Amino acid sequence: MRYAHYTDFPEASIGVDAPGARRRFLNDVEAAVSTSMVEVAPGGHTLRHSHPYEHTFYIIEGTGEALDENGVSPLSPGVVVYVRPGELHMLKNTGDRVLRFLDVEPARKGA
């Protein structure tokens, strides 16, 4: 077992196409499931993208919007967002403080 605070894990930018978005991977590379803490600054957003695997977001703090092909859904603490394989998606911070959420997805993207 490993015990650590999430801020003990290295933080990295998600990329130039995701301004204000940073990620910390919270488990070992050998794990079957990848869990990361994502933080999006006010006015920032994640990548607008799709991929062939599913994943789930759990909103911990802040407010925002989840955008997909069908429109916009509000985000607030306690909201769970399930993204199906192939769905175009993006999370945006519309509030005045950090939008913080867990991102859980397969570690082996081909699995």
Q: Give the domain range for residue 76.
A: 6-106
- As given in the structure block, the two tokens for residue 39 are 């933080």
Tens-digit pLDDT profile for residues 46-66: 999 999 999 999 999 999 999
Residue 111 lies in a domain: no
Query: Is 1 inside any structural domain?
Result: no
Q: Whole-prediction pTM value? A: 0.91
Q: Which residues contact 42 (CB under 8 A, 6 or more apart)?
A: 20, 93, 95, 96, 97, 98
The CATH number that applies at residue 41 is 2.60.120.10
pLDDT digit string (tens) for 64-101? 999 998 999 999 999 999 999 999 999 999 999 999 99
Q: Residue 87: inside a domain, yes or no?
A: yes
**Total structural domains within the chain:** 1
**Residue 93 domain flag:** yes
Q: How many CA atoms lie within 13 A of 52 on its CB side?
A: 4
Residue with tokens 């990295």: 12
